[in-house]
Amino acid sequence: MATNRTLTMIKPNAVQKGLVGAILEKIAASGFRIVALKMTQLTVDDAKKFYDVHEGKSFYEDLYTFMSSGPIVAAVLEKDNAVEDFRSLVGATDPAAAAEGTLRKLYADSKSRNAVHGSDSDDNARIESSFHFSRRELFV
């Protein structure tokens, strides 16, 4: 069943640079409603688990090390066609290839420090939302 929710993380480089407010403002201005929100820091094991689909890839160790290196902001966002529309707002993985106006074009440092995560499917949106939030942290 398609859902109208997606999961985002504002990554450690963007939090460290003070971009949380600017990014959340862009997200809200693009029509997404925040239904859950928290600042937290992933442990190494958390980050390994969140990104376990990438285990074995050349960038996996750098990815989980970076994602556990400082605080992140996680949020569940609601909008019609949330997964696809949010991926359009986020832009390509590599900021050099990201379209003008996208979050990664505006705020990413590099492909590996690309400022914002967005779920890539409805199934993963559900899995990733449950990873970060319990039922009572989700506000309808």
| Residue of 63, 117, 125, 129 marked catalytic | 117
Catalytic residue status for 132: no
Quick check: 59 binds ligand CMP (CB under 6 A)?
yes
Q: Which of residues 104-133 bind ligand CMP (CB under 6 A)?
A: 111-112, 114, 117
Which one, of 4, 37, 35, lies nearest residue 139 by Cα? Answer: 35
- The CA distance from 68 to 42, in Å, is 5
Quick check: 40 binds ligand CMP (CB under 6 A)?
no
Kindly report the length of the chain. 140
By C-beta, is 54 or 126 nearer to ligand CMP? 54
Per rule CB under 6 A, count of chain residues that contact ligand CMP: 8
Minimum distance of ligand CMP from residue 100's CB (angstroms) = 19
Reading phi first (left if > 0) and then psi (alpha if -120 to 50, else beta), residue 135 is in alpha
Minimum distance of ligand CMP from residue 11's CB (angstroms) = 7
By C-beta, is 30 or 124 nearer to ligand CMP? 124
In three-state secondary structure terms, 18 is coil
Name the DSSP class of 115. S
Minimum distance of ligand CMP from residue 56's CB (angstroms) = 13
Residue 106 CB burial class (10 angstroms; 0-12, 13-18, ≥19): middle
- Axis crossing angle, helix 82-90 with helix 122-132, rounded to the nearest 10: 80
Which residues make up the interface to ligand CMP (CB under 6 A)? 54, 59, 63, 93, 111-112, 114, 117
The residues that are catalytic are 117
